[in-house]
Structure 1
């Protein structure tokens, strides 16, 4: 582990231990470097790295502060990395969604207010039976965002919003090229809403798995055919 890594770990531990809390200002650079037994250069590199992933906020002329550490803020750094994806990485993103999103859907079946579930049904009804691919993809993103939020777990919701948005291109491609993709997606969404309405977490999670796995399998086959 490098000296900079040591500095990053030391600051992280101060936050984990509660010594530094969201919104707190870090001690003066000289004081903190002496306390941690680090050079000021190593400390600066650590602060720069932690500011890039939005753990710290460097304010010129004011000091360095711990950010709010809200999940959505921290996930922004992840979205920066995920943006530089290739098609095979999209497969990995879909695989991650297939593993995580059913859990969020199960939680939503227990925790999501009935009014919000009814609003999901209205979102689908507003599309009609023959939406354009762009309309479907936009609705699809909102559909999954609402369910993730309905899980009541802010970390899950932020993670899934980051992952879901990065598969938009694949969803559009599927809608344009796979026969029956629009109808299949609408049918699967309605089935998920029905399970949520009936408060059936196991069924809702299973339906979410099948739904995401369908996109994943289609992309795997499309990439093989394109080789």
Structure 2
């Protein structure tokens, strides 16, 4: 295992140093193993590990390549892990998203102009005419992504998008079960756009933080109700 970890570390260093670049083909296995002073088995294990986290891509019959290394691609493995955890873990995901999105929104506000503000208002208006949960969730995803895209930090934007995508089921569940969730979400979005239009970055960040916190509180309450129901069922 130590040799495999050494191989992983060495390959990662070659990438971070620029010796291997996005999209570049790695040297043939025999050549690379000799270069690193490792057995071919250790090298293969390292390549498998880096393939799992989307750092490397093995193309059968063509060789092994460094991926594009785009943030969205690298975050896919983490996205999968959040998908398979329970409500308690989902609360941790929501809390992380709340903290990150507060900063991302405050960073984005100075760069959002009238055209984008008009798009945000149009997005809200597109849902106001009908209380369809699917339309609301779609609007919610696109609304937040549009704002975050102006934060100036592609990695943060991709991370928030990844975390947001993993809470999609919870937000749909809330829309179906909590009375007034559609109106509440749209009202909070309107407040957020008003703050952005006024150029008040701190207020906008505070509003989005409270907005996400509302979903957290609902999820926590729903989880407690489910636990109580499970106890009653098995008692």
Same fold (TM over 0.5): yes
Report the Cα distance in structure 2 between the residues aligned to 1:189 and 1:129, rounded to whole angstroms.
15
Residue 130 of structure 1 and its aligned partner are, at CA, apart by: 4.4
Report the Cα distance in structure 2 between the residues aligned to 1:132 and 1:90, rounded to whole angstroms.
24
Q: Which deviates more, 109-118 or 160-169? A: 109-118
- The answer to whether 1:151 aligns with 2:151 is yes
Residue in 2 aligned with 1:169? Answer: 169
Poorly superposed stretches of 4+, deviation over 4 Å: none
Report the Cα distance in structure 2 between the residues aligned to 1:180 and 1:61, rounded to whole angstroms.
56
C-alpha distance after superposition, 1:89-127 (max 9, x if no partner): 211110111111111111220123431222011100111
- The answer to whether 1:181 aligns with 2:190 is no
Report the Cα distance in structure 1 between the residues aligned to 2:28 and 2:203, rounded to whole angstroms.
54
How many residues matched?
227
CA contact (8 A) 1:47 1:56 kept: yes
Q: Map residues 38-77 of structure 1 onto 2, 5 A cutoff.
A: 38-77=38-77
Unaligned stretches of 5+ residues in structure 2 = 228-235
CA contact (8 A) 1:91 1:220 kept: yes
- The answer to whether 1:208 aligns with 2:216 is no
Report the Cα distance in structure 2 between the residues aligned to 1:113 and 1:70, rounded to whole angstroms.
27
The CA RMSD over aligned residues, in Å, is 1.5
Q: Which deviates more, 110-119 or 94-103? A: 110-119
Unaligned stretches of 5+ residues in structure 1 = none
Residue 129 of structure 1 and its aligned partner are, at CA, apart by: 5.2
Residue 35 of structure 1 and its aligned partner are, at CA, apart by: 2.0
